Amino acid sequence: MAQQLTQEIEEKDRLALAEMNQPLILGNPSYHDVTRVVSEIVEVRTPKIWYMALALTGGITAILGSMLAYLVWNGIGVWGNNSPVGWGWDITNFVFWIGIGHAGTLISAILFLFRQKWRTSINRFAEAMTLFAVACAGIYPAFHVGRPWRAYWLFPIPIADHGMWQNFRSPLEWDVFAVSTYATVSLLFWFVGLIPDLAILRDRATTKIRRTIYGVLSLGWRSSSTHWKNYEKAYTILAGISTPLVLSVHTIVSFDFAVAILPGWHTTIFPPYFVAGAIFSGFAMVVTLMVIARWVFKVEHIVTMKHLENMCKVMVATGTIVGYAYATEMFIAWYSGNPYEQFTFINRATGPYYWAYWIMISCNVLSPQLFWFKRMRTSIPVMFVVSIIVNIGMWFERFVIIATSLHRDFLPSSWGYFHPTIVDILTFFGTFGLFLTLFLLFLRFLPMIAVQEVKGTMAAEKH
Amino acid sequence: MIVQIQGSKQTGKKYWRSLEELADTTQFKQWVAQEFPATAEDAADGNSRRKFLNIMAASMGLAGLTACRRPEEHILPYSKSIEEQIPGVPLRYASVFSLGTRAQGLVVESSDGRPTKIEGNPQHPNSLGAASGFAQASVLCLYDPDRSRSVLEGGKASKWETFSESLKAQNWGDGSGLRVLSQAVNSPTLSALRAEILTKYPKSAWVEYEPINEDTLLAGSALAFGQRLRPVYDLEKAKVILSLDSDFLLHDSPGLEATRGYAKGRRNAEGLSRLYVAESNYSITGAQADHRLRLKPSEVLGFASDLAREAGALPQGLKILGQNDKFGKWTKSVAKDLLENKGSAVVIAGARQPAEVHAIAALLNQIIGAIGSTVNYIKHERESMSAGVTKLSEDLTAGIVKTVVILGGNPAYDAPAHTNLAANLKKASVIHLGYEVNETAKLAGWHIPEAHYLESWGDALCDGVASIQQPLIEPMFGGKSAIEVAALLAGLSPKGFELVKSHWKLDDKSWRKALHDGVIASAKDDFVKVVADPKRVDAAVSAAPKLVSGMEVAFFPSATAYDGRFANNGWLQETPDPMLKLVWDNAGIISPKTAKVLAVENGDMLAITVAGKTASVPAMILPGHADETVSVTLGYGRKEIGRVGKDVGVDVYPIRANAGMGFSAAQIVKGSGHHNLVTTQEHFSMEARPIVREAKVEDYHHHKNFATHEDEEIEQYSIYGYHEYDKGNQWGLVVDLNSCVGCNACITACQAENNIPIVGKDQVERGREMHWIRLDRYFSSTSEDENHVASEDPQVVYQPMACQQCETAPCESVCPVAATNHSPEGLNDMAYNRCVGTRYCANNCPFKVRRFNYLNWHKDMEESTKMVFNPNVTVRMRGIMEKCTYCVQRVQEAKIQAKVEGRRDLRDGEIKTACQQTCPAEAITFGNINDPNSAVSKLKKNDLNYGLLKELNLKPRTSYLAKLRNPNPELA
């Protein structure tokens, strides 16, 4: 019975693929070719350019480290945060990075469950991006607190000094659980997916060190059918666990705002709006990185235009959802008759932060509309530029939500303005260093494309 | 047990530095002899100044106090406890604080030997239990690490003994070469010493000088009554008050009783008093006005004269001026209103105005029956200060004067510009007693550190009420008081305590009572019965200089630095100006129209030229300010000053000369450059939100619930359920917006009580000021469009804003670590040591009253400054949130006291929050809202009572009484 069902699903997959007119893998490579192309990236002698790139990104990461040290030594006052703007670039950057991570989970989990085979060429890459983005995001909640050495008090661990529970009514506490769960599950999911490929690297290894390390990491994988059976089961279960996380993490991040009483934050539209925005920015980031990686590593036949085009389609869809959310916010502010709410939205578009608002609108709503045209969404330069613009826009979206809502709320006497400091800017800049450093290490030491899964896709195409 | 200090033979309160001093061991004597001169030598070297301060601060920390840390080997337990001293329980002593020509009776709290908090003396008629911001902040001056610490001879460290020897060796003969220049002599003991010195040296002279003085007021009374008198107002009785450029709620009143009386007259909707203000600058008194007339300072005379003629008080008035229609409507209506309220109206003239205006005010008071009712006069024999200092300068120029003994103050900085005193003082040898090594000290051959009033014995007489100035601590830096130096000059033994005690000739019991009460009842003077002479005034008014057109500059005391003496006081520097909300600066205040004419914006420099001298002052635009006038505040731009006041503001004394100590004609043009002015409040419109609710009193009578009728009643479902707040003590607070005058005293009281740090100009600009109370100031336009503030004549309202202690506090539910929670008594508590500093609570606070320690504000704090801390309140570290707690430490203290006394319940009014206690207007009422008979419960039942942001379902424990104005229908 189950077998019959599986056959039916595969039949559907094949039909779906046939509809797409284009093969997912070009040039009809053999299984061995795929293995060789992907594995050789990590097996060849480390190119000089890699060292140079690592030196650059490592240097930027060092800036991040020194900025954080400076912050811990002196206090949050080295940033531009103030009263009334208690959160500035810190939480903006946190939401920005968490959002970027979303594409990875979406590609690996949801598209897996929906049997979107085209995901296989990009899922490893996207998952890695998720993990590194979450690592960058995690810096902010830990370091934005006034006393970072007490940040562990946010975790319900029994050694916490006061012998008291956390406040489970606080959305920030929910955030702690949501983000830590997300990071853990994403890591496990990624690692489980890596096991068969790590075994390939182990088997191809020429030195003892490589053999040992990849041997340990591949957990004794022998490609036996029992292994494959267990693997498929585990992978599906993890995909099942990850799927709600795609929705829940950003929903809970949005609760940080939606549960507060601040006009501009206190809105029920936030969960879907944030999730759509997160996927939007995540796909944009995957496109930005993939365009570079497939060119550098010459894997254009595996990561094809089809993949990129699909991602552009996702971007135009989610970008339009985001634009719709902006319009809804405005409409509800007017329709609610709440003068504070109305003021906040008029102030966003016309107040001291009007420039941020209009940058957000042009980048997020207008720029992806180009992807309605096939020529645009299949043009590498266009999608590269647009994907960067989208991420700039999504950063501004978070900034607009946080800063413009806080800077003018209920009592005009307390109104203020937020100016970032050089430390704010360099810290944010530094997180890109960390992100790219982790990426460079990933590209050098792990297979950037899920070899075994691509082979599976090829098999499906052939039959 | 009272321990005798060696060499002191009197009973009474004694102070000592350490047990070694008590024992008077040779070791201690050596230590004292070595420690101070040795380190003081270091001070001459600029490079090691910082090290010197560290050492000095540390040594004072070790030696100054009974309760401070000492080197381990010296720690000894009390073998017998000190009488009255219970460790941890503060003691309170009555004393008196002189400022300018006035004095306020105080009760000073001493925590383990350190004076920590100033409060008003309820028995003193000039304070009535309240204390001004200056008095509150004066305790910080005591611990100022930049105070003068050593006798200086020609700038080099010396000793008091060397100085007194050299003084004794002086021979001044008949004193023709000797002059004494002192601050206002409020002290009867010093007054007696002055008489003695003048007897000993008959040809010498003693000049009193204060840059903020009452020369014109006294000259005005001399003109009207033929004798020098000071008016004492009883504003509680006044139904109609007219201020002629008088800021009687802040600067122009002898004490706080004017505010108290005025506020009482505004509290009752039936018979609300009416206030007319004619002024140039927008003062806090103007903010209270029901009708406010913007006038150039020189136009006030014309207006007063017109009004007096209209009222029949002045036969002629100004013949040329004032005979116009400019104020026609005003003079008619105000005159009518004043006359209709005979016996319950009063006219008050401001210190900046010339003698003629004061004389006209006296005539008006006579005709409206104010004298004997709302105003009384008391003898005040004080020579003209400007004339005195002018004469001194002339004598110096003529070379008559050989020695000038300057007792306190900073005349080289603040003397009238025409005297050129700083240059002239170089022609004589100068002995300077001063609190800091200031501009004057730099000119002095001898400089003696002056003892703070909390360190020295003294007394003060103000408006007939005498008080003893009782010290609470041994001079921290070996200072001497003016009394002691004067005694040395008079050839007497310079022992402050003996001099004061012997002056009063009280028996032991009365002396103890005088010390205890803070007021000497027997010393009270009576009011004099006077009749004003309209003819003499008329003649003087006709002869007065005629009105000139063109720009004018008017001089005001600073609400923060006063005349410059508080320029090194961080609490005051960071207290926002009541009207401008400006901190760490002074400015030239101009109207929007004048700003347009001069083409300047906020911070652009104005070049103000008076008699050939120019001051460059940053402009600040204030709607409601008179056109063609610049108001400048004194006391800034000090050159020789400690670290706090360094490079703060600009000095405007160089353009303040004899003819225009109050105001003068000036050339004003746009200068070059721009100065960054920082305010604590940047937005002044209420954006049509119901924040401060206000109505005309007649509308209120028709519509009693105007304050709340637009509030939505919403009962929202809570998934957590509401707490029950119907048992025990439930704290609540009401602020009466009719009483609050916006004087800032509560801000400083809160700062002192709750150990609130200062952050500096740069951090205030970044929006990180720490004050737990804000005094929000909004403009409201008198024109139809309420939302617009561009009006030339806006009204101003104040609203003290601190944590509202919401029952359903939005800050509490969002804190991830539960660091802020509700107490069963309805307080929104902060557990400082649990706070990790996410700032989520501040973001979710609709009032934005939570304050975050963005940096370590105590990092560069000297040891001596730390002594000012209230030991009952945690000093917060960086990275955590803080806010108003309704002075929870006072609540706890009262509960403990009740328990000790075996009482179950606290008495209403037993607990006073710091802001409430110091409020001269009694605008703040705190108490148990669960007790239907408490004052606060009764106020909460008032029609005018409203809570803010009701639609958010916050249930705030702080509520406000809506403001009522009482405009004259004829002027509307």
> Which residues in B lie closer than 8 A to residue A414 (C-beta atoms)?
681, 774, 847-849
Q: Which ipTM score applies to this complex?
A: 0.89
Count of CA atoms in the C-beta half-sphere (13 A) of B704: 5
pLDDT of residue A463: 55
Whether residues A165 and B818 touch (CB distance < 8 A) is answered with yes
Query: Residue B435: which of B562, B332, B537, B554 has the closest Cα?
Result: B562
Q: Is A252 on the interface with B (CB under 8 A)?
A: no
- DSSP per-residue letters across B715-770: ----SS-PPP--SS--EEEEEETTT----SHHHHHHHHHTTPPP--HHHHHTT---
Average pLDDT over residues B711-720: 74
Give the one of B774, B837, B952 whose C-beta lies nearest to A146's C-beta: B837
Measured CA to CA in angstroms, residue B665 lies from B101, B304, B393, B554, B670 at distances of: 27, 19, 24, 9, 16
Give the one of B682, B814, B853 whose C-beta lies nearest to A146's C-beta: B853
Q: Is A337 on the interface with B (CB under 8 A)?
A: no
Q: How many angstroms separate the CA atoms of B813 and A259, rounded?
A: 10
Distance from CA of A267 to the nearest CA of B (A): 14
Query: Could you say which of 3.30.70.20, 3.40.50.10490, 3.30.390.30, 3.40.190.10 is the CATH number of the domain covering B694-965?
Result: 3.30.70.20
Query: Residue B842: which of B855, B834, B858, B854 has the closest Cα?
Result: B854
Residues of chain B with CATH 3.40.50.740: 151-212+384-523
Count of CA atoms in the C-beta half-sphere (13 A) of B851: 29
Whether residues A410 and B720 touch (CB distance < 8 A) is answered with no
Q: Are B736 and B925 in contact (CB under 8 A)?
A: yes
For testing contact with chain A, the best of B679, B797, B836 (most A CBs within 10 A): B836
By mean pLDDT, which of A163-167, A233-237, B262-266, B956-960 is the weakest?
Answer: A163-167
Q: How many angstroms separate the CA atoms of A39 and B855, rounded?
A: 51
pLDDT of residue B10: 41
Whether residues A147 and B817 touch (CB distance < 8 A) is answered with no
Query: Residue B116: which of B873, B744, B853 has the closest Cα?
Result: B873
Residue of B nearest to A173 (CA): B816
- What totals of helices (H) and strands (E) does chain B contain, helices first? 30, 39
Give the one of A81, A260, A413 whose C-beta lies nearest to B683's C-beta: A413
Token pair 């993939």: residue: A290
Whether residues B768 and A171 touch (CB distance < 8 A) is answered with no
Q: How many angstroms separate the CA atoms of B837 and B854, rounded?
A: 9
Three-state SS at A423: helix
Condensed to tens digits (0 to 9), the pLDDT of residues B769-792 reads: 999 999 999 988 755 444 444 567
Indicate the pairing of strand B851-852 with strand B828-830. Answer: unpaired
pLDDT of residue B268: 82
Residue of A nearest to B820 (CA): A167
Alpha helices per DSSP H over B855-934: 863-866, 888-900, 914-918
Q: How many angstroms separate the CA atoms of A397 and A391, rounded?
A: 10
pLDDT of residue A427: 95
Max CA-CA distance within chain A?
Answer: 71
**How confident is residue B340, by pLDDT bands cut at 50, 70 and 90?**
very high
Identify the top-confidence range among B51-60, B433-442, B775-784. Answer: B433-442
Give the one of B849, B880, B948 whose C-beta lies nearest to A147's C-beta: B880
| First-to-final CA distance of chain B | 68
Distance from CA of B113 to the nearest CA of A (A): 34
Give the one of B691, B837, B851 whose C-beta lies nearest to A145's C-beta: B837
Q: Tell which wins on pLDDT, A42 or B278.
A: B278
> Which residues in B lie closer than 8 A to residue A262 (C-beta atoms)?
843-844, 846
For testing contact with chain B, the best of A411, A417, A424 (most B CBs within 10 A): A411
Low-confidence ranges of chain A (pLDDT < 70): 1-28, 159-162, 458-463
> Which residues in B lie closer than 8 A to residue A147 (C-beta atoms)?
835-837, 877-880
Token pair 């939505």: residue: B712
**How confident is residue B154, by pLDDT bands cut at 50, 70 and 90?**
confident
- DSSP per-residue letters across B828-839: EEE-TTT-----
Distance from CA of B606 to the nearest CA of A (A): 27
Condensed to tens digits (0 to 9), the pLDDT of residues B174-191 reads: 888 899 999 999 999 999
> Which residues in A lie closer than 8 A to residue B844 (C-beta atoms)?
260-262
Q: Are B739 and B266 in contact (CB under 8 A)?
A: yes
Token pair 């929007």: residue: B592
Whether residues B682 and A415 touch (CB distance < 8 A) is answered with yes
Q: Dig out the tokens for B85 from the structure.
A: 């001293």
What is the SS3 assignment for B88-149?
CCCEEEEEEEEECCEEEEEEEEEECCEEEEEEECCCCCCCCCCCCHHHHHHHHHHCCCCCCC
Q: Are B389 and B421 in contact (CB under 8 A)?
A: yes
pLDDT of residue A424: 94
- In chain A, residues 10-69 whose CB comes closer than 8 Å to chain B: none
> Which residues in A lie closer than 8 A to residue B813 (C-beta atoms)?
167, 169-170
Whether residues A167 and B778 touch (CB distance < 8 A) is answered with no
Q: Is A424 on the interface with B (CB under 8 A)?
A: no
Angle at B261 between CA B257 and CA B263, to 5 degrees: 115
Q: Are B607 and B773 in contact (CB under 8 A)?
A: no
Residue of B nearest to A410 (CA): B846
Whether residues A75 and B878 touch (CB distance < 8 A) is answered with yes
Q: How many angstroms separate the CA atoms of A295 and A278, rounded?
A: 26
Q: Is A86 on the interface with B (CB under 8 A)?
A: yes
Strand order in the sheet with B403-407: B156-158, B151-153, B446-449, B429-434, B403-407, B178-182, B205-208
Residue of A nearest to B837 (CA): A146
- DSSP per-residue letters across B391-442: HHHHHHHHT---EEEEESS-HHHHS-GGG-HHHHHTTSEEEEEESS--TTGG
Distance from CA of B776 to the nearest CA of A (A): 6
Residue of B nearest to A403 (CA): B843
Q: A–B: how many Cβ contacts below 8 A?
A: 175
**How confident is residue B77, by pLDDT bands cut at 50, 70 and 90?**
low
pLDDT of residue A313: 92
Q: Is A176 on the interface with B (CB under 8 A)?
A: yes
For testing contact with chain A, the best of B772, B838, B949 (most A CBs within 10 A): B838
Whether residues A419 and B766 touch (CB distance < 8 A) is answered with yes
Query: Residue A137: which of A446, A448, A432, A401 has the closest Cα?
Result: A432
Q: Are A72 and A427 in contact (CB under 8 A)?
A: no
CATH T-level topology, domain B215-379: Dimethylsulfoxide Reductase; domain 2 (3.40.228)
Q: How many angstroms separate the CA atoms of B776 and B558, rounded?
A: 19
Measured CA to CA in angstroms, residue B169 lies from B173, B198, B320, B427, B735 at distances of: 12, 19, 61, 21, 61
- In chain A, residues 190-249 whose CB comes closer than 8 Å to chain B: none
Distance from CA of B762 to the nearest CA of A (A): 11
pLDDT of residue A15: 54
Condensed to tens digits (0 to 9), the pLDDT of residues B682-695 reads: 888 887 788 889 88
Distance from CA of B54 to the nearest CA of A (A): 22
| Residues B313-337 as b or e (16 or more Cβ within 10 Å = b) | bbeebbeebbeeebbeebbbbbbeb
Q: How many angstroms separate the CA atoms of A384 and A395, rounded?
A: 17
Measured CA to CA in angstroms, residue A201 lies from A445, A448, A451 at distances of: 10, 12, 11
Whether residues B768 and A77 touch (CB distance < 8 A) is answered with yes
Instruction: Tell me what the pLDDT averaged over chain B comes to.
Output: 85
Whether residues B836 and A82 touch (CB distance < 8 A) is answered with no
Q: Dig out the tokens for A48 from the structure.
A: 């000089």
For residue B403, what are the β-bridge partners? B178, B429
Token pair 């010498």: residue: B204
pLDDT of residue B40: 40
> Which residues in A lie closer than 8 A to residue B881 (C-beta atoms)?
146
Q: Is A73 on the interface with B (CB under 8 A)?
A: no
Full set of structural domains in chain A with CATH: 10-462 (1.20.1630.10)
- pLDDT exceeds cutoff 70 at B445: yes
Cα dihedral sign for B952, B953, B957, B960? positive
pLDDT of residue A161: 63
Q: Is A111 on the interface with B (CB under 8 A)?
A: no
Residue of B nearest to A339 (CA): B689
Return the H-helix or E-strand segment holding B796.
strand B795-801
Whether residues A146 and B879 touch (CB distance < 8 A) is answered with yes
Question: Which CATH number is B549-679 given?
Answer: 2.40.40.20
Q: Dig out the tokens for B222 from the structure.
A: 């001399």
Q: Are A458 and A25 in contact (CB under 8 A)?
A: yes
pLDDT of residue B6: 40
Whether residues B767 and A84 touch (CB distance < 8 A) is answered with yes
Give the one of B685, B839, B854 whose C-beta lies nearest to A412's C-beta: B685
Token pair 């917006």: residue: B737
Rg (CA), chain A: 23
Residues of chain B with CATH 3.30.70.20: 694-965
Indicate the pairing of strand B828-830 with strand B820-822. Answer: antiparallel
Condensed to tens digits (0 to 9), the pLDDT of residues B300-323 reads: 888 888 888 888 877 766 655 545
Condensed to tens digits (0 to 9), the pLDDT of residues A337-395 reads: 889 999 999 999 998 999 999 999 999 999 999 999 999 888 899 999 999 999 999 99
Distance from CA of A261 to the nearest CA of B (A): 6
pLDDT of residue B43: 39
The answer to whether the bond into A84 is cis (omega within 30° of 0) is yes
Q: Dig out the tokens for B19 from the structure.
A: 């047990």
What's the predicted TM-score (pTM) here?
A: 0.86
- DSSP per-residue letters across A271-298: HHHHHHHHHHHHHHHHHHHHHHHHHHTT
Q: How many angstroms separate the CA atoms of B30 and B38, rounded?
A: 12
CATH T-level topology, domain B151-212+384-523: Rossmann fold (3.40.50)
pLDDT of residue A421: 94
Angle at B713 between CA B712 and CA B715, to 5 degrees: 130
- pLDDT exceeds cutoff 50 at B39: no
